Amino acid sequence: MMANPNHDLAALRAQIAATAARLIAQDGADYAGAKRRALRQVLGEAAAPANLTPDNAEVEQALRQYQALFQGDSQPARLRALRVLALEVMQQLAPFRPYLTGAVLNGTAGEHDDVHLQLFADSAKDVIMFMLERDVNLEIGETAHFKGARHDRVETLSFHWRKQRVHAELYEMNDLRGALKPRADGRPQRADITAVRALLDAADANEETA
């Protein structure tokens, strides 16, 4: 019987996704870097066909599987602690319409992850002054706009809250238009204070009934 090349391709792609997931969970690699390293580990120095590179959704699914298998005794507690901390920061930044994004929102955050927020204000200077007046030590950088490369990069404030690194991207109020659409898989791309509190309540309820 002839081998099914599509099956072999899918299996290899899944192996690359699993390797990338392990690099993210163990080393804190970002998705793009983890996929590049995974391709080298699985294929060596051979040039990788484009259809062998898993997309972020495949890597995220593999990461969830890895965490369930190997970090089930630690990752949920780490995730909850990050969400509690994120809610505290968001409450302090409530005047600027804070939204939680990234791994802390989607549930894959581990020991290497930071808290990522998006703030929406009339002026980035308003947010910066708000933080400086409260003696928050800031590092100011830039991040790609969530709407894509056709938009200018946005200022990002990085700081520590209870020894945890937090990154807050600063957007204009108009950027909120269309920003609350869910991902293709139905998961939210960002969550406000009410939604983050609901995530914590749901997790606590599940713990009580487990």
The domain spans of the chain are: 5-70, 75-209
pLDDT-based confidence at residue 179 (cuts at 50, 70, 90)? confident
> Beta strand 115-121 with 154-161: parallel, antiparallel or unpaired?
unpaired
Give the DSSP H/E element, type plus range, for residue 154.
strand 154-161
More confident residue, 48 or 122: 122
Measured N-to-C along each axis, helices 75-92 and 193-209 cross at an angle, to the nearest 10 degrees, of 150
Nearest Cα neighbor of 204 from 89, 101, 88, 77 is: 77
Contact by Cβ (8 Å): 59, 21? yes
The predicted model gives 98-125 an average pLDDT of: 97
Query: Residue 17: is its pLDDT beyond 90?
Result: yes
CA distance 154 to 101: 15
CA distance 206 to 210: 6
The predicted model gives 121-138 an average pLDDT of: 96
Query: Residue 1: is its pLDDT beyond 50?
Result: no
Q: Distance of CA 38 to CAs 23, 48, 53, 82, 140, Å?
A: 8, 11, 9, 27, 32
**Mean residue pLDDT across the chain:** 92
| Lowest mean per-residue pLDDT among 2-11, 112-121, 181-190 | 2-11
> Which residues are 142's β-sheet partners?
155
pTM higher than 0.85: yes
Q: What is the largest CA-CA distance in the chain?
A: 72
CA distance 18 to 65: 9
Class of the CATH-defined domain 75-209: alpha beta
pLDDT for position 9: 86
Q: pLDDT for 68-93, tens place per residue?
A: 999 999 999 999 999 999 999 999 99
Quick one: DSSP state of residue 1? -
Percentage of the chain lying above the pLDDT 90 cut = 79
Burial-class residue 104 by CB neighbours within 10 Å (0-12, 13-18, 19+).
buried
Residues in the chain: 210
Nearest Cα neighbor of 65 from 21, 16, 113, 126 is: 21
The predicted model gives 99-105 an average pLDDT of: 97
| Lowest mean per-residue pLDDT among 39-53, 128-142, 151-165 | 39-53
